[in-house]
Chain A
């Protein structure tokens, strides 16, 4: 299985701050990585697919980059509504695997 290590597990930032989350895959997965946002009591919501593509309707302050084994997710200016847990997910190989999550607080 491909392991995906996400860091940090939690972070605290202020409104307007730039927030960065990283995911490292245990092997080269090209750009086969997605990012989701999950708010408490809700299902995950797809934000970024194929490493860097913004899902339709997702605000442009969210972005993703990287390829190979190292990936970065960025919120350019943190908003109060961005409080959530964020997950990366690799799809280069089955089984599909998720990172452990990053809880973002203000």
Chain B
């Protein structure tokens, strides 16, 4: 059964870069039928789509984060990663990775990682 697992530092200093990795196991990462995405949720608040990537490397970013955001893929490790630069306290959130079935970077996130909490603080 396909599983996603986020990993990375739980504490990042303001102005530094937040880096997270999502490892996909138990299924195909390079299938042409899926995109992969990042979603975040500040404490006590709603969900925000960060961006999505195809295994070939094509990326789709939320315009609100685009200037600070890089999403990349490493097919040899069945991983995709998130880098968010110049972080502030507003970037404190639970970060989820998820699968997006389909041939377009839209649709429903059908499998999610458990999420990882990232706190931005000095």
Contacts and interface: CB of A to CB of B under 8 A. Distances in A.
A52 interface: no
A87 B46 contact: yes
Interface stretch (B10-18, B24-32, B111-119): B111-119
A87 B48 CA distance: 11
Interface string B56-89: 0000101110000000000000000000000000
A98 to B, nearest CB: 4
A57 to B, nearest CB: 11
Contacts of B96: 43-44
A45 to B, nearest CB: 8
Contact of B112 (A1, A44, A87, A98): A44
Nearest to B113: A43
A98 B109 contact: no
Nearest to B64: A95
B90 interface: no
Nearest to A95: B62
Contact of A94 (B105, B112, B114, B115): B105
A99 B46 contact: yes
A34 B108 contact: yes
Given A96-B49, A100-B46, A101-B46, A89 B108 contact: yes
Interface string A76-94: 0000000000010101111
Contacts of B47: 44, 87, 89, 98, 101
Nearest to A45: B112
A62 to B, nearest CB: 14
B46 A43 contact: no
Scoring A42, A91, A94, A96 by chain B CB atoms within 10 A of each residue's CB, the highest score goes to: A96
28 contacts: A32-B106, A34-B107, A34-B108, A43-B114, A44-B47, A44-B112, A45-B112, A46-B110, A49-B107, A49-B108, A50-B108, A87-B46, A87-B47, A89-B108, A93-B106, A94-B60, A94-B106, A95-B49, A95-B62, A95-B63, A95-B64, A96-B37, A96-B52, A96-B106, A98-B49, A99-B46, A100-B46, A101-B46
Interface of A: 1, 32, 34, 36, 42-46, 49-50, 55, 87, 89, 91-101
